[in-house]
Chains A and B, each alone.
Chain A
Amino acid sequence: MALETVADYVAFVRELLQDEKDTPYRYSNTSIVRALSIAIPEAKKLRPDLFIGVTTPTFTVSDATVVPIDEMYRLPLAYFCVGMMQLRDDEEVQDQRAAAFLSMATAKLTTVS
């Protein structure tokens, strides 16, 4: 599954979060999509060149809307979303894991890693 649309990102993030069974989901689609909307300006702050000629999008639903970012930099957005989910004050969440995903997102945007 390639990371192309908002729904692709949500599905991939759920994989990393082990939250694929809708009984119901631990993390709602709305939360993940909101994290994706936050990830875009954060990425733009670090790498403005990735958004040349692109209007910064805001996503509201998990659908087939294309996320406008170069294919080399799709994984950092997903990592950022996972990190944001893990930042919640849940009993099963580890702060270190959240910090690790957010750091990986930054590192993948700015370094060859």
Chain B
Amino acid sequence: MAAADITRLINNARDRLPGAIEQAMQRELFNVMDEFFRGSNVWNEDIEMEIPGQDPTNTVYPLIPSTPALVDKLLWVYQLNPNDLMARGSPMGASMSVPGEMVLALQPSSNVPIRVTVALTVDDPVLRNGYVTFPAWVLAKYRDCILDGLLGKMMSQPGKPYTNTQLSVFHMRKFKQGYVAARVEWTRNNTYRQQAWVFPQGFSRGSQKGRSRWGGPA
């Protein structure tokens, strides 16, 4: 039996999808969550490891999440701070051309403990009852958005009792708006009124369309 939050989601979807069966909704829910996580980056995990000092250049370090998930993006790599007074030590350059395989830009000369932060998305295997696994707080926080995605994808299937092209477009638009908003919230660490820094406009020379192009990170 599925958890109460998933059951509520599926029941809400079923009200709007006459004739839809659970297995079909489970499959589309996987696709919805994949698109949601890839678009929003909200599912993060810190992976701590120690880089040996004698490793050759371009050594590949596997990034393995603790739960069934696919590493979608390498967000950042920081050295662990030895005295623990600060959350992060120095940043380290790294890349991940193959998902889950990290390569450092510069190999350290001595052992260095690091913390790698990655963005995850859903992956097989799903649960025995057929539902995709992801953190429960995501569904609690973004229930409407996920429901829109599920409805949009289900309604776009051809030749079904619940096929509805117009409503599919409507729900998919709302879904996209939802995960873009989630990405913005993620960049601000879900903190109210924390906004990206911009240069004070009183000191700006010229218009924003002009050559000065002052402005902080979005």
Residues of A within 8 A of B (CB): 46-47, 49-50, 52-53, 70, 72-73, 110-112
CA distance A6 to B157 in the complex (A): 30
Chain B, range 149-177, C-beta contacts under 8 Å to A: 157, 159-162
Instruction: Say whether A46 contacts B21, CB under 8 Å.
Output: no
Instruction: Say whether B159 contacts A46, CB under 8 Å.
Output: yes
Residue of B nearest to A70 (CB): B21
Residue of B nearest to A51 (CB): B23
Instruction: Say whether A110 contacts B159, CB under 8 Å.
Output: yes
The answer to whether the Cβ of B143 comes within 8 Å of any Cβ in the partner chain is no
Instruction: Say whether A52 contacts B18, CB under 8 Å.
Output: no
- B residues less than 8 Å from A111 (CB atoms): 161
For the complex of A and B, the 3 pairs showing the least CB-CB separation, nearest first, are A49-B24, A52-B23, A112-B161
- Cβ of B28 to closest chain A Cβ, rounded Å: 9
Residue of A nearest to B154 (CB): A49
Instruction: Say whether A49 contacts B157, CB under 8 Å.
Output: yes
26 contacts between A and B (CB under 8 A): A46-B159, A47-B159, A47-B160, A49-B21, A49-B23, A49-B24, A49-B27, A49-B157, A49-B160, A50-B21, A52-B23, A52-B24, A52-B27, A53-B23, A70-B21, A72-B19, A72-B21, A73-B19, A110-B159, A110-B160, A110-B161, A111-B161, A112-B18, A112-B19, A112-B161, A112-B162
- Cβ of A6 to closest chain B Cβ, rounded Å: 21
Q: Mark B1-44, 1 if CB is under 8 A from A, else 0.
A: 00000000000000000110101100100000000000000000
CA distance A50 to B19 in the complex (A): 10
Given A47-B160, A52-B27, A111-B161, list of 15 further CB < 8 A pairs? Answer: A46-B159, A47-B159, A49-B23, A49-B27, A49-B157, A50-B21, A52-B23, A52-B24, A72-B19, A73-B19, A110-B160, A110-B161, A112-B18, A112-B161, A112-B162
- B residues less than 8 Å from A53 (CB atoms): 23
CA distance A63 to B29 in the complex (A): 37
Residue of A nearest to B157 (CB): A49
Chain B, range 36-80, C-beta contacts under 8 Å to A: none
- B residues less than 8 Å from A52 (CB atoms): 23-24, 27
CA distance A110 to B18 in the complex (A): 11
Most buried by A among B19, B24, B27, B160: B19
- Cβ of B193 to closest chain A Cβ, rounded Å: 45
Most buried by A among B21, B24, B159: B21
CA distance A110 to B160 in the complex (A): 5
CA distance A47 to B20 in the complex (A): 11
- Cβ of A109 to closest chain B Cβ, rounded Å: 8
- B residues less than 8 Å from A49 (CB atoms): 21, 23-24, 27, 157, 160
- B residues less than 8 Å from A70 (CB atoms): 21
CA distance A52 to B28 in the complex (A): 12
Residue of A nearest to B20 (CB): A49
- Cβ of A53 to closest chain B Cβ, rounded Å: 7
- Cβ of B118 to closest chain A Cβ, rounded Å: 31
- A residues less than 8 Å from B159 (CB atoms): 46-47, 110
